[in-house]
A and B are shown apart, each in its own frame.
Chain A
Amino acid sequence: MTNLLEVRNLSKQFTSSGGPFRRARAMHAVNDVSFDLPKGRVIGVVGESGCGKSTLARLILRLIEPTAGTLHFDGEDLRAKSPAQMRGLRARMQMVFQDPYSAIDPRYTLQRAVMEPFVVQGRKTIGSEADEVAALLEMVGLNPGLASSFPHQISGGQKQRVGIARALALRPSLLVLDEPTASLDVSVQAQIISLLEQLRDDLGLTYLFISHDLSLVRYFCDEILVMYLGRVVEALPDTELAARHPYTKTLMDSTFAPDPKQRRVIAPLEGEVPSPFDLPPGCAFADRCPQATDICRSETPELAERGGHPVACHHPI
């Protein structure tokens, strides 16, 4: 299997400039992330708010510039491309955004919204190719008659379908899905997920699926990357593998089984994700980890195969 996407040591550092009463601070939103995404696979990136998963998505499409690391898409070095070349390449790599309510211009008809990628790529002019739009809307399960509607006239689930149709307009091979169902009802979420499954099979798509819902990721994805404060802490090559990082285990324990018989006294993780500014040395999870020892507070564990799949922990389970 060839790799559609190869990410090596990707990092993004944001700095807040200091002022008269504040010193300059730096945060590593994404820190030394490496992975391969083979053609036709679905990799899930999972973690809490602020773990850097959305930043990672934007870095991969170079919507923001990485601070360090390399990105190869279908053999091409993305970081060596000029903005114009990058724009051409993005026809083959598209993104579906989290909030369908703000991802579509409220003054555009759905027809115009779905046409937008063609306009950006200079391929077509507005008003032409109504058939193309109709075919795209149909592909995502929308009635082509909706083409002249405005976003406020349709539901959230329908908007997300428009977002997917727009992403598919240029026939990309890679879709980056940034929490595409986070703002939707569970019933609509299930519809969107089954649509994405069907599109993957029909069009041979490759997905990078970003979510905070581990049970959804385990259902939908082939591989899982677990992120915590900008780093990949565990890479599960198979969704059925047991967690070895205490953080992944906590995430798994936090998901609710839809069965009152399996009601468990969840021992929830105390505390919350610490501030990503000026992180202390050592493992970022040490403060919340029940198994933390002295070494965890002094040395940052590397992501390495410790008998099994890669995990970044001094004391894997």
Chain B
Amino acid sequence: MLEVRDLQVAFGAVAPLSGVSFSLAKGETLGIVGESGSGKSLTAMSVMGLLPLSGGRITAGSIMFDGQELTTLAEPAYRKLRGGRLGMITQNPMTSLDPLQKIGPQVDDVSRLHLGKTAAEARARTVEILGTLRIPEPALICDRYPHQMSGGMKQRIVIAMALAADPDLLVADEPTTALDVTVQAQIIRLLDDLVKERDLALVLITHDMSVVAQTCDKVVVMYAGRAVERGPVQAIFDAPQHPYTQALIGCIPKGLSEDEHLIGIPGTVPTVLNYPKGCPFHPRCDRAQEICTTERPAFVHNGDSAAACHFAGSAP
């Protein structure tokens, strides 16, 4: 459904994103995981064709969506696709809805624009979708304003808008970061059901490895604008090859054992202006050697998964 090859993005002379590849089939969930500033949202924006808005452009690589090349697509054609077959769920439901418009019209607009429905048909469809998202009394909700609803409810409305035009691919950028844990569990479960029921392809962007563990089929771990490890979720968690992946998993409190110790990852993600030479992770890596500071590691393949580390495969 979606195939991204060696994607490179530049803003003027700086290239915050390079060499990102992944693929995704119908009914599959792909997790893109990494810290803030690792290029996850930029990847999402590239797929959605939203880069020009922030002054970026794709300088190399390809994005194939259902056999169609997106990197060369003209904006009018992109506009038909985006919000239609390409749905997006943004991070902050508080700012994704128009505060001055009622819920109903906001969701109606999507199917009127993309599916050519009449006002009455669109409203019927809206009510039906809100119902499938387990929103109580959907017909009444249509007459409410966003400020009258809780954060979890607003996120469901945003999901409803993404679903209104019957998309094939859904990109969810940190859909639960702003929500409480119980509501996070509801939303994640909902997305999971949608993928299965509608045979959607879902790209889930998150910084939380436990969300990945619970929902995704495949994972791409990103660091400093590059994919550093990718593979099926079980393999990544069973035997993470890249030290960064190992560190991300180590950041989650697992349980109650006394000797468990959270250490975090020392240091911070480099900004795009000072991406380190060699392996981008080497300044924060406790296994870094001479070679890591000079040579960029190539992907080492191991079954279905691959890691860009000089010492992949020799992990302790």
Q: A256 at the A/B interface (Cβ < 8 Å)?
A: yes
Contact among B184, B210, B248, B250 for A257, CB-based, below 8 A: B210
- By the criterion CB–CB under 8 Å, are A254 and B213 in contact? no
Q: In the complex, which of the residues A215, A254, A256 has the most CB atoms of chain B within 10 Å of its own CB atom?
A: A256
Chain A residues 64 to 123 lying within 8 A of chain B, measured CB to CB, are none
Q: Chain A residues with Cβ under 8 A from B263's Cβ?
A: 190-191, 194
Return A263 CB to nearest CB of chain B, in Å: 5
Contact among A155, A191, A268, A271 for B265, CB-based, below 8 A: A191
Whether A48 contacts B182 in the complex (CB less than 8 A), given A189-B264, A258-B237, comes out as: yes
Residue contacts A-B, CB under 8 angstroms, 10 given: A48-B181, A158-B268, A190-B265, A194-B262, A194-B263, A219-B256, A254-B182, A256-B210, A259-B237, A259-B254
- By the criterion CB–CB under 8 Å, are B152 and A190 in contact? no
Expressed in whole angstroms, the Cα–Cα distance for A254 and B152 within the complex equals 14
Interface residues of A (CB under 8 A from B): 48-49, 155-158, 185-194, 212-216, 218-220, 239-240, 250-251, 253-266, 268-273
Q: B300 at the A/B interface (Cβ < 8 Å)?
A: no
Contact among B150, B209, B268 for A186, CB-based, below 8 A: B209
Q: B251 at the A/B interface (Cβ < 8 Å)?
A: yes
The 5 closest A-B pairs by CB, nearest first: A190-B264, A191-B264, A219-B253, A256-B210, A254-B185
Expressed in whole angstroms, the Cα–Cα distance for A67 and B233 within the complex equals 52
Expressed in whole angstroms, the Cα–Cα distance for A48 and B150 within the complex equals 12
- By the criterion CB–CB under 8 Å, are B253 and A216 in contact? yes
Return A36 CB to nearest CB of chain B, in Å: 23
Whether A187 contacts B152 in the complex (CB less than 8 A), given A219-B260, A258-B209, comes out as: no
Which residue of the partner chain B has the closest CB to A193? B262
Q: B51 at the A/B interface (Cβ < 8 Å)?
A: no
Interface residues of B (CB under 8 A from A): 35-36, 134, 136, 150-153, 180-186, 188-189, 207-211, 213-214, 233-234, 237, 247-256, 260-266, 268
Q: Chain B residues with Cβ under 8 A from A257's Cβ?
A: 210, 213-214, 254
- By the criterion CB–CB under 8 Å, are A48 and B237 in contact? no
Q: Chain B residues with Cβ under 8 A from A155's Cβ?
A: 268
Q: Chain B residues with Cβ under 8 A from A212's Cβ?
A: 180-181
Q: Chain B residues with Cβ under 8 A from A157's Cβ?
A: 268
Q: Chain A residues with Cβ under 8 A from B262's Cβ?
A: 190, 193-194, 219
Return A153 CB to nearest CB of chain B, in Å: 12
- By the criterion CB–CB under 8 Å, are B182 and A263 in contact? no
Return B134 CB to nearest CB of chain A, in Å: 7
Return B166 CB to nearest CB of chain A, in Å: 25
Whether A194 contacts B207 in the complex (CB less than 8 A), given A189-B251, A258-B213, A272-B150, comes out as: no
Which residue of the partner chain B has the closest CB to A192? B264
Return A180 CB to nearest CB of chain B, in Å: 14
Return B235 CB to nearest CB of chain A, in Å: 10
Contact among B136, B207, B213 for A259, CB-based, below 8 A: B213
Q: Chain B residues with Cβ under 8 A from A251's Cβ?
A: 181-182
Q: Chain A residues with Cβ under 8 A from B207's Cβ?
A: 185-187
Q: Chain A residues with Cβ under 8 A from B152's Cβ?
A: 272
Return A46 CB to nearest CB of chain B, in Å: 9
Given contacts A187-B247, A193-B262, A258-B237, 14 further A-B contacts (CB under 8 A): A48-B180, A49-B151, A186-B252, A212-B180, A218-B255, A218-B256, A220-B253, A240-B256, A253-B185, A260-B233, A263-B213, A266-B185, A269-B182, A272-B183
Expressed in whole angstroms, the Cα–Cα distance for A265 and B264 within the complex equals 29
Q: Chain A residues with Cβ under 8 A from B185's Cβ?
A: 253-254, 256, 266, 268-269
Which residue of the partner chain B has the closest CB to A253? B185
- By the criterion CB–CB under 8 Å, are B36 and A185 in contact? yes
Return B93 CB to nearest CB of chain A, in Å: 13
Q: Chain B residues with Cβ under 8 A from A191's Cβ?
A: 263-266
Expressed in whole angstroms, the Cα–Cα distance for A240 and B260 within the complex equals 14
Return A198 CB to nearest CB of chain B, in Å: 11
Return A54 CB to nearest CB of chain B, in Å: 13
- By the criterion CB–CB under 8 Å, are A186 and B182 in contact? no
Which residue of the partner chain B has the closest CB to A184? B36
Expressed in whole angstroms, the Cα–Cα distance for A268 and B36 within the complex equals 28
Q: Chain B residues with Cβ under 8 A from A185's Cβ?
A: 35-36, 207
Which residue of the partner chain B has the closest CB to A186? B251
Expressed in whole angstroms, the Cα–Cα distance for A204 and B233 within the complex equals 42
Expressed in whole angstroms, the Cα–Cα distance for A158 and B266 within the complex equals 12
Expressed in whole angstroms, the Cα–Cα distance for A158 and B36 within the complex equals 14
Return A308 CB to nearest CB of chain B, in Å: 17
Which residue of the partner chain B has the closest CB to A259? B213
- By the criterion CB–CB under 8 Å, are B249 and A214 in contact? no
Which residue of the partner chain A has the closest CB to B208? A186
- By the criterion CB–CB under 8 Å, are A269 and B213 in contact? no
Q: Chain B residues with Cβ under 8 A from A254's Cβ?
A: 181-182, 184-185
